[in-house]
Structure 1
Amino acid sequence: MHNLSLDQIVLFGDSITQHSFNPVIQGWGAILADAYMRRLDVVNRGFSGYNTEWCKHVLADTLASTLPASGASRTPQIKLMTLFLGANDAVLPEKNQRQPVAIPQYKANLLEMLATVKSMSPDTRVVIITPPPVDPLRWHEKCKLKGKEGDREVGYTKLYRDACLEVGIEAKKTWGSALQVVDIWEVFFGKGQTEYTMDDVADLLSDGLHLAARGNTLLAAALLKTIKESWPELNPEIVKPRVTFNEQVDKTKLPDILFKNYDDY
């Protein structure tokens, strides 16, 4: 018997991660899963509505349930993890008392979660993604349909984006090249650009908060670019499949030809 378990990419975050497998909006997670098909398993661990304070309490159990059981004949590794949180931490406290997390605690929570990853899966690379920009007017319209007030504001959200970047700088002192940060604001608007109009995000956000198809496509492209440049061995064009692709199958050499990459994986 051949153990065909694959190494993994784990996507950890809030609803923007949870929805990332949605094909209707060309979800960024679905794009990654397609790129790594038969090479790495892309695992969605997004928790809609969660902030860093809640997520830090489920991260260890999430990793434990994703990592292989001890004694397994082969031990797949979490090769890469995305940490995409802050959108819910950044709700306005005067409008929403359930979800907000103050910036100092937000930063501490991110660092605590990074320490958890390092302790449980020390060889895992991590990509931190900043909280995305928002369109408060569109989000308010969505909230009104539920009888709620809008609870987002551009300048306040940007403070959390900035805090996330600061965490990346601090974490790199320990992680080095094993950690990268994708600033989704720069992905959307260009390097060094943070000012935008609501027209600029009209086709990037579906409801003023969550990503639309174009936003998902841009984020997926940025993640793949980061992976290829930072960790070339994880380039999906280089990672070997566990089972041979059909065009490489010599039917006179069955079944061994099917597993020709197995010993080198």
Structure 2
Amino acid sequence: MTQDRALDQILLFGDSITQFASNPALQGWGAILAHKYMRKLDVINRGFSGFNTEWCKHLLADTLRTVLPNATNSQTQPPKIRIMTLFLGANDGVDPEFNQRHHVSLPNYNQNMHEMLETVRTHSPGTKVIVITPPPVNPEAWAVVCRAKGKVPDRNAAHTKKYRDECIRIYEEAKPKWGRDLILVDIWEVFFGPGRTEYEMSELDELLIDGLHLGMKGNKLLGYALVKAISDIWPELDYEKMENAFF
């Protein structure tokens, strides 16, 4: 006999690196989470290719309001978003000399991220948030993609690192208010190990497919880092410890 109820959710919110996270051909990090949480939590992808924090902050409240199904008559309480990933900054961090449209200054990036965290607290209280830092880039590989599309290359490694560092600062600023409901996954640490921020461009060959977006190895590393972070910090949400729905 099955239960007439919807599952609680994990919401993935971000830019193209989140949008592409559901791609099974790349063993997307979102697909990894969806597989692990099958019959336990529904994984909902709301990644918006090309978006920055300035644009995403205007979408978040409506996203939180609309992704959840309505409660059924048999439910004592409606389903809720248990975990949300906030993965933004890659487009904010383009070089403003070559891309003013997508660039967001560091102070505005900081403000936008804090606004989105407050939006979650207001519209989805109780949701736990994983902040993911913008990933490293290979400007040379990205330049090949841009030129093939008739576009001007707009990324450099040093500028991107500033947004990774700012993302960590945002987390540290927000952590006292959030407590254990907010965690950080630094994708640079996931890729290179603790404490490393300098890298050879060749190290990204297997991690990224085009100098920016995650390839199969990068997706797998991030996906399993998220699974481990959830297990370590929120053991009650460890997929191995949660009961299946619809017995």
Q: TM-score, normalised by structure 2?
A: 0.96
Counterpart Cα distance in 2 of 1:220 and 1:140: 27
Which of 70, 94, 97 matches 2:100?
97
Q: Is 1:3 equivalent to 2:28 in the alignment? A: no
Counterpart Cα distance in 2 of 1:138 and 1:72: 53
Q: Is 1:231 equivalent to 2:229 in the alignment? A: no
Which of 194, 206, 211 matches 2:214?
211
The SS at the match of 1:126 is strand
Once the two structures are TM-superposed, the CA of residue 242 in structure 1 deviates from its matched residue by: 1.1
The 5 Å alignment of 1:29-48 reads: 29-48=30-49
Once the two structures are TM-superposed, the CA of residue 243 in structure 1 deviates from its matched residue by: 1.6
Once the two structures are TM-superposed, the CA of residue 88 in structure 1 deviates from its matched residue by: 0.2
* RCO comparison, higher one (Cα < 8 Å, 6+): 2
Structure 1 pair 243–2 and aligned structure 2 pair: CA distance change class (3 A):
closer
Match of 1:56 in 2: 57
Unpaired stretches in structure 2, ≥5 consecutive residues: none
The SS at the match of 2:202 is coil
Structure 1 pair 36–22 and aligned structure 2 pair: CA distance change class (3 A):
same
Once the two structures are TM-superposed, the CA of residue 173 in structure 1 deviates from its matched residue by: 1.1
Counterpart Cα distance in 2 of 1:16 and 1:185: 15
Report runs of 4+ in structure 1 exceeding 6 Å deviation. Answer: none
Match of 1:249 in 2: none
Counterpart Cα distance in 1 of 2:80 and 2:187: 27
Once the two structures are TM-superposed, the CA of residue 121 in structure 1 deviates from its matched residue by: 1.1
Any conservation in 1 of the 2:6–2:69 contact (CA below 8 Å)? no
Counterpart Cα distance in 1 of 2:31 and 2:3: 27
Counterpart Cα distance in 2 of 1:22 and 1:186: 23
Match of 1:12 in 2: 13
How many pairs does the alignment contain? 244
Match of 1:202 in 2: 205
Aligned-residue RMSD, C-alpha: 1.2
Match of 2:24 in 1: 23
Percent pairwise identity: 57
Q: Deviations over 1:187-206 (max 9, x none)?
A: 00000101001111110000
Counterpart Cα distance in 1 of 2:218 and 2:97: 29
Counterpart Cα distance in 2 of 1:2 and 1:225: 30
Unpaired stretches in structure 1, ≥5 consecutive residues: 245-265
Q: TM-score, normalised by structure 1?
A: 0.90
Q: Is 1:220 equivalent to 2:223 in the alignment? A: yes
Amino acid in the other structure paired with 2:161: K
